[in-house]
């Protein structure tokens, strides 16, 4: 019998569509091409981790390698975190976006880098004063806690609830500890968004896992003891990904840029050749449209970044929002009661091989990663090559063994 590793995400995926759960969490399949939403979300988290490094401390990346690398994006060969952590961020983004993937153009790839960099600059500006309110206790904390049978006295065999917390922070004003979660979204951050985020099991799982881990003493290395006040809640820090795109300038704005080298409050190095009708901005040729009264250009990625940063400063709440989310003891107890029930459901479906797809989940919120596979009619079994468009990721299982009569051994047996 395989170990069941429950999590808020896997539980929701199982309840939404058992076929999705089977393909992802048991067979270990994942899309061959990284989804943009996941890539950008991961990059947003990583850049914030770099900003949280302490200036002057020994480079953690070089420390792990036990040697100072001259090309390290954190220390740039000095062995120490620089005074301005944005230097690390810029080097990291430049390195990550140095090679354009096959499914994107060079401009699209550069635009993604610019969106991250200028959004991060805006976030740092907007929350610059409030960051002093918090002390970071730990980052990227992972732990596993047991799941108990209904009644809470006997532990379920080979079942754990796994949790990964972005970071734990202490409110310097109250001394209370919070789970800090960074989120990125393309949805408007209205009441409906916050209702969906805070009422779901994702935030509940963070708080439940954190409190149980504290009670078990798993957070002692971070200075949080079982007898201390329990984790107070979750602090959700949400970034709305920019929905403005590069645009054409007016002929007037183009003339101002050409003559003064300024655009959206930023200075640019502009080279204009009227004979060749070319305009180069910070070394990047700008697309030109000729008109009767002059020329108009389309924003280069850096010019777009300047306009984005201007928009961020004018309406920051459109891009960044933070809210505290709490849960009552009764709500946490109800979550704990549901965990073994979900585990029993998964075990039953495994034993009976009752993996049933739910077509209502194919386009719920986001397009399902496995929609193309399910519609293809292809049958996949562990041990087969990954289907076209997919790859075997972490946790994939080997070929399914069989009994002497040739029938398959079910994964749960």
Alpha helices per DSSP H over 261-395: 301-314, 329-352, 371-376
pLDDT value, residue 377 = 84
Strands 262-263 and 134-148: what pairing? unpaired
The DSSP symbol for 36 reads H
| Burial class of residue 116 in the structure, from the number of CB atoms within 10 Å of its CB (0-12 exposed, 13-18 middle, 19+ buried) | buried
Mean pLDDT of the chain: 89
What is the 3-state secondary structure of 157-199? EEEEEEEEEEEEEEECCCCCEEEEEEEEECCCCCHHHHHHHHH
Half-sphere exposure of 93 (CA within 13 A, CB side): 27
Chain centre distance of CA 83: 26
φ, ψ for residue 180, nearest 5 deg? -105, 125
Instruction: Give SS3 for 109.
Output: helix
Strands 155-171 and 4-6: what pairing? parallel
Angle (CA) 368-372-377 rounded to 5° is: 125
How many angstroms separate the CA atoms of 235 and 203, rounded? Answer: 9
Closest-CA residue to 231 (of 248, 253, 207):
207
What six digits make up the tokens of 250? Answer: 């007016």
How many angstroms separate the CA atoms of 297 and 310, rounded? Answer: 19
Q: What is the pLDDT averaged over residues 327-352?
A: 93
Whether the pTM exceeds 0.75: the reply is yes
Q: pLDDT of 125-180, one tens digit each?
A: 999 867 688 998 988 899 899 999 877 778 999 999 999 998 899 999 999 999 99
What six digits make up the tokens of 272? Answer: 């204009």
**Percent of the chain at pLDDT exceeding 70:** 94
pLDDT value, residue 140 = 86
φ, ψ for residue 30, nearest 5 deg? -150, 155
The DSSP symbol for 26 reads I
What six digits make up the tokens of 403? Answer: 């009994």
Q: Which residues pair with residue 279 across a beta bridge?
A: 272
Q: pLDDT of 345-371, one tens digit each?
A: 999 999 999 999 898 888 877 788 888
């Amino acid at each position: 019998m395989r170990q069941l590793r429950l999590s808020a995400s896997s539980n929701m995926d199982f309840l939404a569509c058992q076929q999705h759960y089977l393909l992802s969490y048991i067979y270990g399949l994942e899309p061959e091409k990284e989804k943009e939403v996941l890539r950008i979300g991961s990059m947003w988290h990583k850049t914030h981790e770099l900003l949280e490094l302490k200036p002057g401390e020994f480079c953690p990346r070089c420390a792990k390698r036990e040697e100072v690398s001259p090309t390290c994006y954190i220390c740039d060969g000095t062995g120490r975190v620089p005074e301005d952590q944005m230097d690390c961020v810029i080097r990291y983004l430049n390195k990550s976006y140095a090679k354009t993937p096959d499914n994107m153009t060079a401009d699209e790839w550069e635009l993604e880098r610019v969106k991250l960099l200028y959004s991060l600059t805006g976030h740092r500006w907007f929350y610059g004063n409030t960051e002093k309110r918090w002390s970071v206790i730990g980052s990227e904390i992972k732990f596993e806690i047991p799941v108990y049978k209904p009644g809470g006295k006997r532990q379920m065999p080979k079942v754990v609830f796994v949790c990964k917390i972005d970071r734990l922070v202490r409110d310097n004003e109250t001394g209370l500890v919070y789970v800090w979660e960074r989120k990125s979204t393309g949805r408007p951050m209205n009441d409906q968004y916050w209702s969906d985020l805070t009422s779901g099991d994702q935030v509940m799982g963070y708080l439940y896992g954190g409190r149980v881990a504290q009670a078990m003493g798993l957070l002692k290395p971070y200075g949080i003891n079982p007898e201390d006040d329990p984790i107070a809640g979750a602090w959700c820090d949400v970034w709305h990904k920019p929905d403005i795109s590069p645009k054409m300038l007016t002929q007037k704005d183009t003339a101002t840029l050409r003559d003064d080298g300024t655009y959206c409050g930023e200075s640019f190095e502009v080279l204009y050749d009227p004979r060749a009708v070319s305009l180069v901005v910070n070394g990047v040729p700008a697309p030109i449209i000729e008109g009767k009264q002059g020329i108009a250009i389309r924003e280069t990625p850096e010019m777009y970044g300047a306009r984005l940063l201007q928009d961020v400063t004018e309406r920051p709440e459109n891009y960044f929002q933070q809210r505290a989310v709490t849960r009552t003891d009764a709500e946490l107890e109800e979550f704990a009661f549901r965990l073994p029930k979900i585990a029993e459901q998964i075990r039953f479906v495994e034993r009976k091989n009752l993996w049933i797809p739910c077509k209502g989940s194919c386009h719920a919120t986001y397009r399902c990663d496995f929609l193309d596979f399910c519609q293809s009619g292809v049958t996949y079994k562990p041990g087969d090559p990954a289907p076209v468009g997919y790859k075997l990721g972490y946790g994939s299982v080997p070929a399914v063994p069989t009994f002497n009569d040739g029938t398959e051994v079910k994964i749960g047996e």
